[in-house]
Amino acid sequence: MARIVGYIATSLDGFIADANESLEWLEGRGEATLGEPDYKLFITRIRTVVMGRTTYDWLIRTGATWPYAEQRTIVVTSRPIIDPPASIETRTDIDALVAELRALEDGDVWIVGGGRLQMAFLERGALDEVEIYIASSMIGGGYPLFPPTCFKASPTLLSAKSLGGGMARLHYRFD
């Protein structure tokens, strides 16, 4: 059974991007030493990435090379994707998607990007772990790490570590 995980950075005041969808507040953290949880190591165990349409559209607007060429990619959307940069699947039903992902046996699943999709998985008891990288920047608004809902949880803190460069890592498991 596949593990479904989150791996995301946030500002100290709880935003994953500013109001203009910029991540400039996250840049310049070269002094941070991620060690074992480094993204390059993290992505090697990921076989499937799942993202919402907002994250997909943001990635396309950046004009960068598609970052998930080695992974199966699923975009949760109700709108068709025209001329995708890679082989991309779409889904509309999150409950059916959770069941599909749980049946996978070829590696972990990463819920990429925004907090809305991660919250949808949390509300269904389908996010197993999340690694949150906190930058010592306050950006005053934008896209929240997790949108406000009535969802309540008490995840288990697996580790907390200062990484230097104004970064800290919190690793939680949801039981």
pLDDT digits 0-9 by tens, 13-67: 999 999 999 988 888 655 555 556 678 888 989 999 999 999 999 999 988 899 9
Q: How far apart are CA 62 and CA 120, in angstroms?
A: 25
Identify the residue whose tokens are 């396309």.
Answer: 60
Phi-psi region of 110 (alpha: psi -120 to 50; beta: other; left: phi over 0): beta
Structure tokens at 49: 């990435």
Please state the pTM of the whole predicted model: 0.90
pLDDT digits 0-9 by tens, 15-29: 999 999 998 888 865
Tell me the CATH number at 129.
3.40.430.10
Q: How many domains does the chain have?
A: 1
Domain coverage including residue 148: 4-173
Phi, psi values for residue 74, rounded to 5°: -120, 130
pLDDT digits 0-9 by tens, 75-104: 999 999 998 988 899 999 999 999 999 999
Q: Cβ of 108: how many Cβ atoms within 10 Å?
A: 20
Q: Average pLDDT, whole number, for the chain?
A: 91
